Amino acid sequence: MSTRGRVLIVDDELSMQEFLEIFLRSEGYAAQTCGDIETALAHLENDDFDVVVTDIQMPGGSGLDLLRAVQSRPAGETETMVIVMTAFASTETAIAAMKEGAYDYITKPFKVDAIRIILEKAMEKKSLSSENRRLRTELRSRVRERNLIGTSRTMQDVVELISQVASTKANVLVSGESGTGKEIVARAIHDASDRREAPFVAVNCGAIPENLLESELFGHVKGAFTGAIQSKPGLFETAKAGTVFLDEVGELTLPLQVKLLRVIQERSFRRVGGTDDVRFDARVVAATNRRLEDEVAGGRFREDLYYRLNVIEVGLPPLRDRREDIPLLVAHFVEKVTGEPGGGSLRVSESAMQKLVEYDYPGNVRELENVIERAVALCREDRIGVDVLPPTVVRARGASARDRIPEAGVQLEDLLADYERGLLLEALDQCDGVKKRAAQRLGISFRSFRYRLEKLGLEDQER
């Protein structure tokens, strides 16, 4: 039998337990009662409750102690709303409970209508919190599937911002260099929104000739121009109540910018050659690899359209600014290309990984994916080494010293040691772990090679 929710009642007065149990069950809740903190904790350990209604003053412990125990449970567990009761009309105690995370409080004696309303609102918040948590989990899963991967602070901030804006109706501008994953972000926003069952329609504004783009966006009627042998709906119409993704919106000409602005303002448009207004309810997500502020300043992009599109901006960092995410991305792409969990037996050598991390990736994540696809296709064994990486990646020595020295300064010896370590490992990798050959490749003696390995803690390095 389904219920409106599970409620745990904690009060040392038996009469209050019985009263609340009868009342809550008559309201459709499943109620459990107890008279002390220890028993309440045992119930919470064994069962999930949506709401706990607890007295503040009880023998053997305070309701605040129970509240703290509920609040300290691991974040992944089911969220429980706590409502505290006090017979002393103590505002200070109630405020203290609220500060520590209680949903609400009620003062004894109370009317049943009061607790009825508080319970209903607590259940609503519980339901909303559970849905938000589910959507965040689903979003992170979908974001990972779409290659938006990273544990860096910048990428975690992006994922968090996506989860916040997805539930709104606001237009979003996604900015970032080519290959950073702007369409991935747009699709993630769509997937996490209540529009997810409606179409996601994407158009590259820079890939369609100007004379065809207006018809592509807004459709046309039969006979509107030469070759229009029948009426055709545009992408705004096709999207219905879904999402229209305008990729590289900075490529739009000024005349088309005027028309797009009017469409966004009026929430309607006319097909090319048509006279009837067509309403639309789609959300607009735009993307650009340009700095639209500069385009506005240069008179190449309308300021009013910029502010219409940029209600919320999601900025994607270039891959070179989040190098700590590269090993995760490499592992993901190896798995994706091989089609095997964890990439099967295929591994990336340490020297190859160092090269992959050092490279600047002008093409960003898209370029990294291509590099890994090439490496997997060319590798002859169960290891991706430096020999199967593109020459541009192999020749990379990372950022210049000028670029890599922050204002706070650097430890030169550490930087040199890192560079030396990379050369030693690369030489070992190229020579299949044979140290004498690796020493010859570096132009040093075998004894010097061994000394350097020992100095850097690599003496047991095997390849």
pLDDT, tens digit, 9 for 90 and up, residues 169-205: 999 999 999 999 999 999 999 988 889 899 999 999 9
Q: How many CB atoms are located within 10 Å of the residue 381 CB?
A: 11
pTM for the complete prediction? 0.58
Please, are residues 26 and 112 in contact by the beta-carbon 8 Å criterion?
A: no
- Summarize pLDDT for 359-378 with one digit per residue, the tens: 999 999 999 999 999 999 99
- Summarize pLDDT for 80-120 with one digit per residue, the tens: 899 998 875 566 777 788 888 888 888 888 888 888 999 99
If one compares 136 and 363, the residue with the highest pLDDT of the two is 363
- Summarize pLDDT for 27-75 with one digit per residue, the tens: 999 999 999 888 998 898 888 899 999 988 887 778 888 888 888 776 5
Give the per-residue pLDDT at 167: 85
Q: Which fold would CATH assign to domain 146-315? A: Rossmann fold (3.40.50)
Give the per-residue pLDDT at 403: 47
pLDDT at 149 over 90: no
Helix or strand or coil: residue 387?
Answer: helix
Please, are residues 188 and 182 in contact by the beta-carbon 8 Å criterion?
A: no
Give the per-residue pLDDT at 307: 95
- Spell out the residues 6+ positions from residue 105 whose beta carbon is closer than 8 angstroms to its own: 83, 84, 85, 86, 94, 97, 98
Please, are residues 282 and 239 in contact by the beta-carbon 8 Å criterion?
A: yes
Over pLDDT 70: what percentage of the chain? Answer: 89
Question: Is there a shared CATH topology between the 6-132 domain and the 146-315 domain?
Answer: yes
Tell me which CATH code domain 321-455 carries.
Answer: 1.10.8.60
- Summarize pLDDT for 322-360 with one digit per residue, the tens: 999 999 899 989 988 998 887 788 989 988 999 999 999
What is the arithmetic mean of pLDDT over 396-400?
56
- Summarize pLDDT for 1-15 with one digit per residue, the tens: 457 889 999 998 999
Q: How far apart (Å, rounded) are the C-alpha atoms in residues 193 and 136? A: 11
Query: Residue with structure tokens 């109630």?
Result: 94
Q: Any idea which of 378-382, 414-418, 459-463 has the lowest mean pLDDT?
A: 459-463
Helix or strand or coil: residue 222?
Answer: coil
Structure tokens belonging to residue 261: 């602005």
Architecture of domain 6-132: 3-Layer(aba) Sandwich (3.40)
- Give the residue extent of every domain in the chain: 6-132, 146-315, 321-455
3-state secondary structure 18-52: HHHHHHHHHCCCEEEEECCHHHHHHHHHHCCCCEE
Would you place residue 134 in the very low, low, confident or very high pLDDT band (cuts 50, 70, 90)? low
Beta bridge partners of 313: 173
